[in-house]
Amino acid sequence: MTTYDCGPTTLLNAFSYLYEMEEIPAIIMEAVWRYTLDCFNSKGDWGEGGTSRSAMRLFATWLKEYAKSQANSIKVEYLEKEEITYHKFVQFLQKKGVVVVRCYQSNEHYVLITKFLDPYFYLFDPYYVDKANIGKDASIVFDWDHPFEYNRMIHQSRLFSETKDDFSLGPIIHRESILIMN
């Protein structure tokens, strides 16, 4: 909806992907909005600077505790830095989980990874890109035919690159992800 709500939008997309509408508890949606959009922009406007890593970690911790207290089937794992590996992502996706990941797209940005088919990770980017504004990059394939599953395919070498190129995870010290499974 805005240039700064990729974090909460991606979390909500994760639950929309994993669950039927009537299965998603309202308290999860409320928690997404309560814990995210916690950064100030350059003008000092609260929330308009996006979502911090600490907010995502806090949400993941809350979700894990919520799932335990409700005997819910939600499985949650927060990973950062060197804990994030190609093999962990692939194994989790093969079990029908999803990965919320912080990557780069001009600046830090959250997207949802929904599957892996070698050599591509399939992801849903909440940021809409018009076909006329697509650049040429062999590591990124845009897709408009699967709007409820993915809209980008990112080559594995790009995703796990330590650069700050579009859709790379960037330097290991800055990496962050939340793995969620129903």
Question: Alpha-carbon distance 113 to 82, whole Å?
Answer: 18
Report the pLDDT value the prediction gives residue 3, as an integer from 0 to 100: 81
Which stretches of the chain drop beneath a pLDDT of 50? none
Report the pLDDT value the prediction gives residue 1, as an integer from 0 to 100: 80
Report the pLDDT value the prediction gives residue 71, as an integer from 0 to 100: 80
Percent of the chain whose pLDDT exceeds 70:
99
Report the pLDDT value the prediction gives residue 114, as an integer from 0 to 100: 98
Closest of 110, 105, 94, 102 to residue 173, by C-alpha: 102
Domain boundaries, the chain: 6-181
Report the pLDDT value the prediction gives residue 133, as an integer from 0 to 100: 67
pTM for the predicted model, two decimal places? 0.95
Which residues, 6 or more positions from 120, have their beta carbon under 8 angstroms from its beta carbon? 141, 153, 154, 155, 156
Fold of 6-181: Cathepsin B; Chain A (3.90.70)
Phi (first) and psi of residue 168, to 5 degrees:
-95, 150
